[in-house]
Structure 1
Amino acid sequence: MKGRREFLKLGAGVAAMGATLPLAAAQCGQTPDWHSEYDVVIIGSGFAGLAAAVEAKKLGAKRVVVFEKMGVYGGNSTLNAGQACFAGTDLQKKLGIEDNANLMVLDQLKAGRGLASEALLRASAELGPYVYQLTLDCGSKYRDHIITTGGTSATRSHQVIERSGAGFIQPLLKTAREMGVETYNRHKFDHLIRDEKGRVIGVEIRRGYHFGKEESGDVIQVRATRGVLMATGGFGYNISFRQAQDPTLTSEVGCTNAKGATGDGLIEMLAAGATPVHLSHIQSGPWASPDEGGFGYGAGFALYNFPHSIAVDRTTGQRFMDEIADRKTRADLELQRRDKDGKPNPALLIVPKAEAKNDPSMEKVLKYNVAWEFDSVEALAKHFDVPLKPLKQQIADWNRYVDEGHDPQFGKRMDAGRGIKLTAPFIVQRLWPKVHYCQGGVQINPKAEVIAAATGQPIAGLYAAGEVTGGVHGVSRLGGCATPECLAFGIIAARSMMEA
């Protein structure tokens, strides 16, 4: 077995240099010792992986398997705020919101600053209504309220009632299992297996793996007759790898990701000759709180309240950004909030309690000391050592902007705030970005096929979807747009495999 693993690693290195030699046992004239065989093999149990599993079964796949390396299913997908941007849904129409896939694509292209892939964005956006209905059919339940997220020209972020990605993952996982999909956790992907023609025909899996113990478990080879889908997510928790791409993302910058987001699948595909795209574009979440670990409760609180609230610099007592600009714009500005010694001095998000109480996240952030309540501007200013006079003036100015329907400071969309003024009592949360999403990954085409660097052509039998892919969003991803993209390309990958 050791010899076979060494051939896998050797083949990966050769493929990375552009050679056409296949990987694994077939390369040395051996037939892999197959442990099991499936039509579709899926690596990763997040949005992309589970959506692919359900779609593949709907299309008639007899045997589908999902391998998850961690002890629980869902990965990073369970840790988000449970939001998904869909354009043209029945819920939008019910609420009188005019929107369409083309408008959603244009918003994302603008945020991508010229580097986003229109073809990939369009493939995802146009599939949106189908994806939305599939989640409903699987049992996801949405709130009646649709959220305005940064950088959008229409209100389109649909949110499940759980306010977390679990509201998608649990119904998808349950549905997949009911349809006959086999699911295995603590099964870590190690390598791709290719035949003598270079087609991916299976994977090497470390069965019984325990995170952090890289040699744990035993190695098996699993055959895929229709294809392998890599849905292994990003590399946000691999600090050395992410810092190599962007030197500013040191350990000083926290991370919202699950600890398993270490980029294993990405690194293996790159070794197998896949084309890397935009690895240095790593997005930080501007809604994060430095007063809790991981994604936390503050993210949901900030996301709900940004449209009708203000973010101020503690040194000046003044706003410094459009609170619903795109994520990169806000995160970059927040990271600039420093004290006289250059140390982080997190900004303050000041929220009117009268509106904040309408969202269940308020109780959580107060309970866990992620936010604080103040009965007056004076009490707020004293607690955070903010200059009182300019802060009072800023609040008065903001309330005038609400009356006038225009923000002369930063051009914020005032309709998103629905005429809500900033009045006491206030709920205040500190803001400091955390690494959240890797825009970079392997290149795919609109059929979710992985593209080889040496040829510019698809690597036969290999598909990828979700955060492990690159080039979709460009420089900046709009909030609520990863969930539908992951789901959509999981579905697209399943369709591609079943059509092949």
Structure 2
Amino acid sequence: MNKIDLLGRRKFITGLGIAAGAAMVAPAMAVSEKATGIKWDQEIEIVIIGSGFAGLAAAIEAKKLGAKDVHIFEKMSYFGGNSAINGGLFAAPVTPMQQKEGVEDSVERMVADQLAAGRGIADEALLRHVASHAMEALQMTLDAGSEYHPYLQQLGGHSVARTYQTTVSCGAGITQPLLKKCRELGVNTHNRSKFEGFLVGEKGEVLGIKMRENYHFGEDQPGKIIHIRAKRGVIMATGGFAQNVNLRMAQDPTLTSEVGCTNAPGATGEGMYEMFRLGAIPVHLAHIQSGPWASPDEGGFGYVSNYSIYNFPHSIAINRLTGKRFMDEIADRKTRADAELACRDEQGNALPPILITSYADSKKHPNTEKVIKYNVGWKFDSVEELAKHFNVPLNPLKAQIEEYNGYVKTGKDAQFGKNMTKAKDKYIKAPFTVVRLWPKVHYCQGGVMVNTKAEVKDSFTGEPIKGLYAAGEVCGGIHGVSRLGSCSIPECMVMGMTAARSMMKA
């Protein structure tokens, strides 16, 4: 195919929604067009769409490699996107803190953990590429001024502790320093600037973009559309589509508007959708991950999420109907989310399980005071008081706590095979801190297919679409069925850096 057939490709992508058995309507649809006869309003060396981890890392790397004119465009009024409100958890192998704590790790071990969670369909080459460069990305955040807690965490599905967390316990602890570094390096940043489509050449190569200035999310748009020529190319770092209910329901009809979501409101997927129209390969769109650490008692990501992530290794998750554990508290996310969703009362109605932690251990995380203060978590002085509050059968609960404390003592979990390393000497005893658990839509494994150069592949030719790169959650196929927690930040940053490197070499 020598010339791009935009109309044919629009019909192709519309078929994705039909095939899924549900209408798929993207919000405020962007439309690409040929650049023939276009009058360019601006010419920019490197165009980056999106200001999250991937976009910011791409901009910094591009400037370090000698780019003179780098611009980041963000559709929302604020910078950082969904990245700013994520958990601020960063996994990397062979780090200084691992060496300090005596943790033996390797790129191969991190990749193996992710492949297991991916259930046979993760992209091993991309996982290895990210793991191999994760320490470089972590160093970029440190150089920019990010600060992390002085301890490592072992998240679900990870065979060792390899996760750093920002001291503010959210992604803003990374996005804000990176944004500041971008501006120090002379990167131009534009907010309220909405991507409206690609401008392409006769052979389908990306020559530039259409942008709407003065964009106000969710309102009628008075802004002017401008045409920008991208001399080296365009990096799409536009994130996932978890807030686009129609699109996610087309892939998984159970993810209705009644299902909560941890994402920022701008995570609606237009950039991804327009790359599909251009010919990008859709991968794994139906694999949409829910966070098993979320709470039904608060909106969005909330305070409980980071609290739970920290405390899972030395806590017990209890089915309120039985008073017994029902899962490995640090299994991969899908395993735990599915187990939580199976917690039902005798009529089959949802019965959110509880996570029980000794207050002495839970209070070491800064969110503990907040979950209690805002009534999304509770402190109890006795197991009797706890059981009465949540209507949990007392005797089975007492027996379960005694049994689990035996596992803490021996270091072996005979019930679910939980890795007890981080539970050493941390017994479940009064006073207790308790939160309720219920999954929320958190991360889209699906998106456009990229290679290890962050080039977007064309579904019609199998070759990279010239001038087009992508990084972060907008890409698909990397993690497979289930993404391990704390692996999105290194993926976003490494692939953003990779896109910049590829672009500067082109």
Give the TM-score band, short-chain normalised: over 0.9
The reply to whether residue 42 of structure 1 matches residue 31 of structure 2 is no
Distance 2:236 2:251 in 1: 22
Aligned residue identity for 2:284: H
Tell me, in whole angstroms, the C-alpha distance in 2 between the residues paired with 1:473 and 1:156. Answer: 18
Of the candidates 210, 215, 218, which is equivalent to residue 212 of structure 1? 218
Question: 1:170 pairs with 161, 168, 176, which one?
Answer: 176
Residue type of the alignment partner of 1:153: S
1:282 aligned to 2:278?
no
Q: TM-score, normalised by structure 2?
A: 0.94
Deviation at 1:18, TM superposition (A): 8.0
1:285 Cα deviation from its structure 2 partner: 0.2
Amino acid at match of 2:370: K
- Asked if residue 415 in structure 1 is aligned to residue 421 in structure 2, the reply is yes
Q: Would you say 1:117 and 2:111 are equivalent positions?
A: no
Contact kept? 2:74, 2:190, Cα under 8 Å: yes
Q: Is 1:476 paired with 2:482? A: yes
Write out per-residue CA displacement over residues 122-166 of structure 1, whole angstroms, 9 at most, x where no aligned residue. 110000111111111111112111111000111001111111100
Aligned-partner Cα distance in 2 for 1:69–1:344: 37
CA distance in 2, matches of 1:98, 1:298: 30
Counterpart amino acid of residue 264 in structure 2: A
Task: State the alpha-carbon separation in 2 of the partners of residues 361 and 351 from structure 1.
Answer: 14
Superposed CA deviations along residues 274-298 of structure 1, whole A, max 9, x for unmatched, are 1000000000000000100000000
Say whether 1:270 aligns with 2:296: no
After superposition, residues 372-391 of structure 1 pair within 5 angstroms as 372-391=378-397
- The 5-angstrom pairing of residues 280-319 of structure 1 reads 280-319=286-325
2-structure distance, mates of 1:484, 1:246: 27
Deviation at 1:17, TM superposition (A): 6.2
Q: Deviations over 1:351-407 (max 9, x none)?
A: 100111111110110111110010001000100101101011000101011111111
The offset of 1:11, in angstroms, is: 5.8
SS of the residue aligned with 1:143? coil
Say whether the 8 Å CA contact 1:18–1:454 is kept in structure 2. Answer: no
Q: In the alignment, residue 325 of structure 1 is paired with which amino acid? A: A
* CA distance, structure 2, for counterparts of residue 18 and residue 336 of structure 1: 37
1:187 matched residue in structure 2 = 193
Task: State how far apart, in whole Å, the 2-side matches of 1:378 and 1:443 are.
Answer: 53
1:24 aligns to 2:14 (yes or no): no
TM-score after normalising by structure 1? 0.95
SS at 1:40 equivalent? strand
Conserved? CA contact 2:32–2:274, under 8 Å: no
Supply the RMSD in Å over aligned alpha carbons.
1.5
Contact kept, 8 Å, 1:399 with 1:422, in 2: the verdict is: yes
Match of 1:368 in 2: 374
Residue in 2 that maps onto 1:13: 7
Distance in 2, Cα, partners of 1:23 & 1:401: 59
Tell me the distance in 2 between the aligned counterparts of 1:195 and 1:325: 48
Give the counterpart of 2:253 among 247, 261, 268.
247
CA contact (8 A) 2:34 2:202 kept: no
Task: Note the residue ranges of structure 1 that are not aligned, 5 or more in a row.
Answer: 1-9
Matches within 5 A, 1:98-113: 98-113=104-119
1:131 touches 1:488 (CA, 8 Å); kept in 2?
yes
Of the structure 1 ranges 243-252 and 115-124, higher mean CA displacement relative to structure 2 is found in 243-252
Residue aligning to 1:353: 359
1:342 offset after TM fit, Å?
Answer: 2.3
Query: Structure 1 CA distance, aligned partners of 2:366 and 2:473?
Result: 29
Please tell me whether the aligned partners of residues 411 and 424 of structure 2 are also in contact (alpha carbons under 8 angstroms).
no
Corresponding letter in the other structure for 2:116 = K
- Contact kept in structure 2, 1:11 and 1:24, CA below 8 Å: no
Contact 2:473 2:492 in 1 (8 A): yes
Matching residue's letter, 1:329: T
Does residue 428 of structure 1 match 2:434?
Answer: yes
Amino acid of the structure 2 residue aligned with 1:442: V
User: Helix, strand or coil for the counterpart of 1:232?
Assistant: coil
1:33 aligned to which of 16, 39, 59: 39
Cα distance between partner residues in 1 of 2:359 and 2:414: 25
* Residues 11 and 23, structure 1, Cα contact 8 Å, conserved in 2: no
Paired residue total: 486
- Quick check: 1:18–1:453 contact (8 Å CA) kept in 2? no
Given candidates 332, 336, 340, the residue that maps to 1:334 is 340
* 8 Å CA contact 1:34, 1:221 repeated in 2: yes
Partner deviation per Cα, 1:409-454 (whole Å, 9 max, x = no partner): 1000011212210000001000000000000000000000001111
CA deviation after TM superposition for structure 1 residue 79, in Å: 1.1
Moved more, 293-302 or 340-349: 340-349
Q: Equivalent residue for 2:28?
A: none
> How much has 1:25 moved relative to structure 2?
4.2
Contact 1:24/1:194 (CA < 8 Å) preserved in 2?
yes
Q: Secondary structure at the match of 1:350?
A: strand
Contact 1:13 1:272 in 2 (8 A): no
Secondary structure at 1:255 match in 2: coil
User: Partner of 1:154: helix, strand, or coil?
Assistant: coil
Q: 1:96 offset after TM fit, Å?
A: 1.2
Q: Tell whether the 8 Å contact from 1:16 to 1:274 is kept in structure 2 after alignment.
A: no
What percent of counterpart residues are identical?
Answer: 58
Please give the secondary structure, in 1, of the residue aligned with 2:102: coil
State the alpha-carbon separation in 1 of the partners of residues 162 and 415 from structure 2: 25
Report the alpha carbon displacement of residue 486 of structure 1 after superposing the two structures with TM: 0.3
| In 2, Cα distance between equivalents of 1:84 and 1:124 | 12
State the alpha-carbon separation in 2 of the partners of residues 12 and 462 from structure 1: 16
Q: 2 CA distance for matches of 1:273 and 1:145?
A: 44
